[in-house]
Structure formats: C-alpha cells, structure tokens
A and B are shown apart, each in its own frame.
Chain A
Amino acid sequence: MINAIIIINNRRYTVECSESNTVLDVLESIRKEKKLSLHYRHSCHHGSCGTCGAIINCIEGLMCLTKISDLMHERKTTSGKDTVAPQYENGKLIINLEPLKKAAYIADIAVYPAQLFESIPETASYKRSIERANASQLEPDSSYDELYKQICSDAAQTQEPVPDKHVFMKNSLIRNKLELCIECGLCLSACPEEFRGPAGLAAIHTALAKNKPETSTYSNLLALAYAEDGIAQCKRHFACSRVCPQGVAPGRRIQELRAIDSKNSNT
C-alpha cells in the first residue's frame, strides 16, 4: 500500500492506495469513501473514450491508464529533455492534478473540450475499412443473405434506397475499425503553440488518405492544413507525439502534411 496526497486546485486529499491502482481509481474511491463532490471527466476507464485526460505531475496523461507505480519513477517531460522526479511529503507520494489546457474550465479538473472538437474537420471519418489479406479465399456466409433481406424489408418500409446486394456481400468481408485517435486532447494541451493543433492536423492527415486527390473534400482538407492556423505554426516540439496514448504520432503526420505542401508548390 502507498500513502499519497492528491492535490487538485489547492485542495489536498490524503489517500491510501495500491501501486497498481490508476489515478482514476483513486479519484473514484475518494468520491465514494469521502462522499465529496470532485469534478473530473471519465467514461470508459480503459483508454478508449478519451475523456479522462489531465496534467498529472506536470505531464499530460489519461488518468485511467496512469498507474500510481508509474508516478513513483522519474519521468520525461513533454519537452523530451527534462525529467520530473517523484516528490514525497512525510513519506507520502504527491500527485498533483491539473485540468488540460486549451479547454474551457468547469471545476476541479473537469473541462469542456470545445476547442479540440472544433479543430477536427467534420469530413474526418472516425472509421477505416481494411481489406482482409486472405479476402480472395473468403466468401460471406449465408447469415449475410438473411441480413440483407431484413435490411431490404426495413428500407422498403421507410422508403430508403436499398443497398446493392453484390456490394453488401463484398463489404461483409471487409474489416471495419475505429481510428486510433480517441480525441482525448492530450496533444493539444501539451503543444506550446496556439493554432489548429496536433489532433486536428493528424485527423486531416488521416482523412486525406481516405479521399481521392481530385475530390473537393480532399482539397478542402488540404486547404485547412495550409491555412494560417495550420501546419506552418508547428514548431516541431513533438510534445504531441510524446503524450499521445494511442501512438497516433501527430508530430510525424504534420511533417508528412508539409511534404505534400512542398510537393504541390514545386509543381
């Protein structure tokens, strides 16, 4: 067991917790045991929803994936150069929690992430389709026949267009996957610059790959990347990539957007 002091907004909570607890677990028990109102965003508790970001001992992280044991070691800051050493007070580990930056403040560490969601273009899809490696060997099973029939009969009732059967069956062999980015806003908070920001530009980068260059969606997305608040403002700190819990590497994606930019201006 570890004794810790959680500091939020100058309020201090002394707790006993296990090294394997996450910071979010500890906040949940404070709320339960001490019956205190304590404001923080949380939802999935496993790093999928992106709501529970905070600045945890000076470094942006998801509270549901940051264990108490992680905070007992020296950690690299978002600059990649300095380190933060664990601090103790009378043998108690200090856990200082601050709200993410570039979001409207609500209370304690709860924020309203409007800026983050505004930075992601509406045409940036959250999903991708991946062809299976062995697609040629596969054929849809007959359950998809039945499913197709049901969808057609539903469509007839609501006068919607009926999907083409061949396309429907072919699509049933494609794997659908949600994109890696969980829209948590850690990158936006960690970036010292003021502009559209890493999450939005990474979303543009991902979306460009899904749209053909001759489409208006593609050129509109590219225009957003080249706009005044776009890639030109990135100063290559790479704090975004260091804090990203999903390995999206927004910093690298911004550099790749620059490559498209220079290719276009050369031609």
Chain B
Amino acid sequence: MKNNLPSRKKLNKTIAIIGGGGTGCALAWDLSLRGFSVLVFEKGELTSGTTGRHHGQIHSGARYAVGDKNIARECMEESILLRKLVPEAVEFNGGIFLALTDEEADYTDTFIEACHEAGIPAQEISIEKALQFEPLINPHCKRCVTVPDGTFDAFRVPLSFAAGARMLGAAFYSFHEVVQLDTVGNKIISLIVTTPEGKQQSFAADFVINAGGAWAKQIAALAKVHVPVTPAPGTMVAVKNRFTDKVISRLAPPGDGDIIVPQRELSIIGSTQRVTDNPEGLLPLPEEISFLLKRATELIPAFSNAPIHAAWSAARPLAGEGLTGSGRSLSRDFMIVDHSDAGITNFISLIGGKATILRAMAEKAADYASEKLGEQTYCETRTIVPPSWRNYYTYKD
C-alpha cells in the first residue's frame, strides 16, 4: 500500500461530476489519480443524499450470493479492499446469518454453496459457538453461518476519497446546485450552478458525469435526456444498545427487516423498501418502525427493549423503471447510461449500485469516461490509500 500522493501527469481535460455522494467522491478520487481536472457539484453537504444514511454494512456479498453471484463476488473483493484502503473508518468484525425457521434451516445449504461459488468463505458454526461470540442473538435459532461482513462509517469513507481528490487538485463545490446544462450541437458545453449566495455561476467541462443516485433522473432531465432510475426508500431504526459486534442477518432471500448492524453504541435494524418518484425529504412511516422492531426482536430478542435513538429513511437508486410495490425485484447492479444515443456525446449517467462497491463503480465509470475522451489511463484506486477524511476540511487549495 502506498499512501503518499505522487504528483500526477496532468491531462488537459476537465470532467464535471454532478453529485457528491459515495459514487461521486470515489469517482473524483479515481479521475484525479488518472490526471483529469475534476469538478464536483453537490447541492448540499457531501453525502447528504442517500450515501450518509446507509446503515453502514460492508457486504461480504453473502446476502446476494443466491440471487446474483456477480454482485456477490464483487462485494467480497471490494470489502477486502475497503479494509485496506480506509482502515480507520471500518469496523471489521464479521457477520452471522441466522436461520430461524425450518424453511430457513433448509435454505442454509443452498446459501453456503452459493457463497462458496461466489468466493465468499461462508462457514456453518454450531449455535453454541455463535453464542460464544454473540451471546445476545436468538438462542432458538436453528442454524448459524459466519461470513466476513463488516461495517463502515458511511460519511467518512466517501470523505476520505474526496480528501484524496482534493489534494490532487479536484475542486469540490458543496452547496452548489446544478440548475442548467447548456448544450451546443451534441455536447454539453457548460453547467450553470446556483451558489450558496443564490447567484448563478457557469462552469465549462469537456465531459459530464451524472452521479446523482436517486436524483439522477432530475439531473439528466436538465439535458433533456432520460435515465431509468427508481428511488426506493428504505427505513432504518437505531436503538441505544450495541447488542453485537458482528452484523446479524436473517438466513433467507433478501427481504425487509433482516439485517442488524452495530454502530458505535447503537444497533440498527434495516430496512424496508418501497418505491417513490421524489427522493427528497423522506420521513419514516410509523408502521415501518413497529414492523422493523418486531423483526429485529426475532434476531436479537432484547432489541426492542432498548430505547429508540433515531429512525430515518433513505432512497436507494434502483436501476430500472415502471415498478410498483417494494421494487425488490430490481437488481442492485450498477449501470452506465451513455447519452450518445439520445444525442449528447459527452454525458453519462451512473445508476444503481451499492455502497460496498463504491470504488468499483467509480473505476468502471472512470474507465468508460477515459475511453470516451480518447485518453489512455489506468485505475490506481486499488492500491493507493487515500488520506484521512479530516483532510477534506483542512486542505487548503
């Protein structure tokens, strides 16, 4: 691991990123290392959309192994990388999946096999052994499987990437909302941005990447193009007690209220899922909170005795459209939408994806943008350790 930031060869090209969430920050880091000049625009503080509200689980991929081996494999690879790249913001304590019903006990073998096929070292352990590690899990569970899950600080991991980008010259404009994309012919030539003082300012860029997550559709509409994204809010509830160090999950296909994530002195039960058209200002519904507490009690019986610390909602950016109900049928896969087909050649949108694979999403998007710009570059984010998130605020341009 290298942690010094050697001076980069500078490419004479500017890439504007719209959206300062996990993907936008990781992308700014990746593109800056490749030598591009990078501008990041975020209408609020960095990670104020979906990223920061994440419950903080680093997925080993076990949750997705049965449904989608590729995503599962990618999660496993990325979770190992995150431990090395941002060790200060990662609690790596592993995870246990609990089978509580006969049906779930029967599913265990399928689950373990799928994990192994995806390269995830899932391992069945005795209930007695699981209780030695985590005495507060449901002692009446039928089977237990350990996996290398972990947790991370959903604010500080992206901020570390942003800090690195900044130290390489990337300019971050938080509280700057992109309100207009001016096109000439088949290219976006400038971005019109509202500053915190309420003034309009224009920025030129050679290439524009929409990393707006659940807001990607509204951003794409500024250039009169369409991206298929569905905001799918999920609610989480934190209670005042750290019951476990490991992430506790339900040994069943992904559903609602089936993960408990420890975070400092809290435990968080996640999550629900519905679909909406406006990702702004989401509040949890009372029935979601009672449902989650009931489900949490099945995994950790003492859970709902602890006082509620907070309840909140965040909008996942699901790739796809035309859904009703929960939207769980949509893949959590990540996609790049190239707007060349719609007549704009220097604009792409990133949709879907998951927090655990933020670095990998950025790598793919940066590869794509480099090629579109005719630059031969390569990704270095697997090996270069970014600086501390604190440098994001202390670095002076």
What residue of chain A has the Cβ atom nearest to residue B46's Cβ? A43
A116 proximal to B (CB < 8 A)? yes
What residue of chain A has the Cβ atom nearest to residue B312's Cβ? A45
Are A158's CB and B383's CB within 8 A?
yes
Given contacts A51-B155, A117-B394, A143-B123, contact A43 B281 (CB under 8 A): no
Q: Which of A109-124 contact B (CB under 8 A)?
A: 110, 112-114, 116-118, 120, 122
| Surface stretch bound by B, among A27-35, A75-83, A220-228 | A27-35
Are B47's CB and A65's CB within 8 A?
no
Are A47's CB and B146's CB within 8 A?
no
The size of the chain A interface, using a CB distance under 8 A, is: 63
A68 proximal to B (CB < 8 A)? no
Are A44's CB and B53's CB within 8 A?
yes
Chain B interface size band reads 35 or more
Are A180's CB and B264's CB within 8 A?
yes
Q: Which residues of A contact B156 (CB under 8 A)?
A: 49, 126
Are A37's CB and B198's CB within 8 A?
yes
A14 proximal to B (CB < 8 A)? no
CB distance from A102 to the nearest CB of B (A): 13
CB distance from B359 to the nearest CB of A (A): 14
Q: When the two chains form the complex, which single residue of B80, B91, B122 contacts A176, counting CB atoms closer than 8 Å?
A: B91
What residue of chain B has the Cβ atom nearest to residue A159's Cβ? B383
Contact mask for chain B residues 144-164; partner A; CB cutoff 8 A; 1 contact, 0 none: 001110000111100000000
Are A46's CB and B93's CB within 8 A?
no
Given contacts A43-B52, A126-B88, A180-B265, contact A110 B45 (CB under 8 A): yes
Q: Which residues of B contact A42 (CB under 8 A)?
A: 44-45, 48, 52
- A164-B90 Cα distance, complex, nearest whole Å: 20
Given contacts A37-B198, A110-B45, A172-B94, contact A47 B129 (CB under 8 A): no
Q: Which residues of A contact B390 (CB under 8 A)?
A: 117, 120, 122, 183
Are B177's CB and A46's CB within 8 A?
no
Q: When the two chains form the complex, which single residue of A45, A106, A172 contacts B175, counting CB atoms closer than 8 Å?
A: A106
Of A49, A106, A182, which is in contact with the most chain B CB atoms at under 10 Å from its CB? A49
- A176-B88 Cα distance, complex, nearest whole Å: 10
- A107-B176 Cα distance, complex, nearest whole Å: 11
Given contacts A31-B280, A48-B264, A158-B382, contact A43 B45 (CB under 8 A): yes
Q: When the two chains form the complex, which single residue of B154, B198, B266, B281 contacts A49, counting CB atoms closer than 8 Å?
A: B154
CB distance from B325 to the nearest CB of A (A): 23
13 other A-B residue contacts (CB within 8 Å) besides A51-B45, A106-B174, A172-B94: A43-B52, A43-B154, A45-B52, A45-B53, A46-B53, A48-B155, A48-B266, A117-B394, A120-B390, A138-B132, A142-B123, A178-B89, A178-B263
Q: Which of A4-22 contact B (CB under 8 A)?
A: 21-22
